[in-house]
Amino acid sequence: MTGIRTFGKILILLISISLAQSCVKDNIDLDAYNEQDQIIPGENGNDSSNGNGTGGKDTSVVVTGIINFNVNIYDMIIESRSSLESTPIKTNRYVDVYSYNDNILIREKQYFSKGLGTISPTDEEPLSMPPGSYQFFAPGVNTPHIKVNRFFDGKQSPVYNNIDYVWYKTPSTQIESGAQTVTLNMEHCCTQVIVCLTHDSDITIRNTPTMYITPSVTEGASWSLFTGVITPAREVNSVKTSLGVSQTNQGYYGQIIMIPLKMRGNLNFTLNAYIDQQTVAQNLTINLPVYQNELKAGYAYLYTIHIENNRLTFKDASITNWVEVDAGKPIIITPI
């Protein structure tokens, strides 16, 4: 009797173990189903939280406008120019474009002119913007291969003489989807001084003369991104700088670009030249009055100086159009 009870207990134990193993197997199969087939939020492209089937990542298509730029530079003084009196930007010039929407900076991009009148992004990625209303502020350098320095808090400092800073601000511009072109009609932010050297017919200048002038002091000056204004200097430097010199049928011309100048006083000019049969170069000096006490941005000032009796005589000063100067090419003055 005792053996039968013992056998029964063993049988019940074996049946319990078998049922337990079956339950474990069923649990494993259920887990496998959950891993392979269950819809889990945020995975397998089915997140109901945003309703776009992207697993929590919003990749909805945003329509953008692609903006290209044409660039012209005014070569006429403000009072006499029209929208037609500008020239396409030359090659090898840098222009930066700051894009604003509601006074908030959206993009900042560097461009380079590879062809006349057009600029291309240096990173080769076109400027793309969501449709909307924008203003573009475009500072540039119309001197070959010189980059535009960064603007901080809307200003750039220091600035230098002998660099042709140019600038433009577009009116509010509506950008739509697709490609469109925005034209930048840029203005010169500096002033230009041109010296025309004439002489009597019986005088011979045996070499290309060297010309020097006292330029604007640049210390403390800055360039505004939002207005294009470079702070005018209030005095000239005591140290002279050389002018670029070229020869034309009318005589020798010297040229320099300076930051604007506002002062009562003179520019000190020096000519170094071999005259007639002299074996030693002559240094001749003269003071040139600041035209109406101000040399304005965007203006070119033409001073005529005459050599006679081994001295310089100031003849005249006038306003002329801005003169584009390229290395190796003569300065040509167009009367206005």
Q: What are the pLDDT digits (tens) for 98-138?
A: 999 999 999 999 999 999 999 999 999 999 999 999 999 99
Amino acid at 51: G
Pair type for strands 65-74 and 178-188: parallel
Fold of the domain spanning 68-188 = Immunoglobulin-like (2.60.40)
Q: Determine the 3-state secondary structure of 238 from DSSP.
A: coil
pLDDT at 87: 85
CATH topology of 68-188 equal to that of 191-320?
Answer: yes
Those residues whose C-beta lies under 8 Å from the C-beta of residue 150, and which sit 6 or more positions away, are 156
pLDDT (average), residues 292-313: 92
Residue reference for tokens 């002018």:
243
Domain ranges of the chain: 68-188, 191-320
Encoded tokens for 153: 């808090």
Encoded tokens for 82: 């029209």
Give the burial string for 62-73 (b: 16+ CB within 10 Å, else e).
eebbebebebbb
> CA-CA distance, 180 to 174, in Å (whole number)?
10
Does residue 7 carry a pLDDT above 50?
no
Q: Determine the 3-state secondary structure of 27 from DSSP.
A: helix
Fold of the domain spanning 191-320 = Immunoglobulin-like (2.60.40)
Of the candidate ranges 3-7, 81-85, 170-174, the one whose mean pLDDT is the lowest: 3-7
pLDDT at 105: 96
For residue range 248-299, what is the model confidence (pLDDT) as tens digits? 777 899 999 999 999 999 999 999 999 888 888 889 999 999 999 999 999 9
For residue range 114-124, what is the model confidence (pLDDT) as tens digits? 999 999 999 99
pLDDT at 78: 55
- Give the closest residue to 98 by CA, choosing from 280, 199, 9, 226: 226
For residue range 145-166, what is the model confidence (pLDDT) as tens digits? 999 999 999 999 999 999 999 9
Whether the CB-CB separation of 224 and 169 falls below 8 Å is answered with: no
> pTM here?
0.77
Round the average pLDDT of the chain to a whole number and report it.
80
Does residue 328 carry a pLDDT above 80?
no
- Give the closest residue to 179 by CA, choosing from 335, 293, 64, 312: 64
pLDDT (average), residues 320-329: 67
pLDDT (average), residues 40-51: 35
Over the Cα atoms of the chain, what is R_g?
37
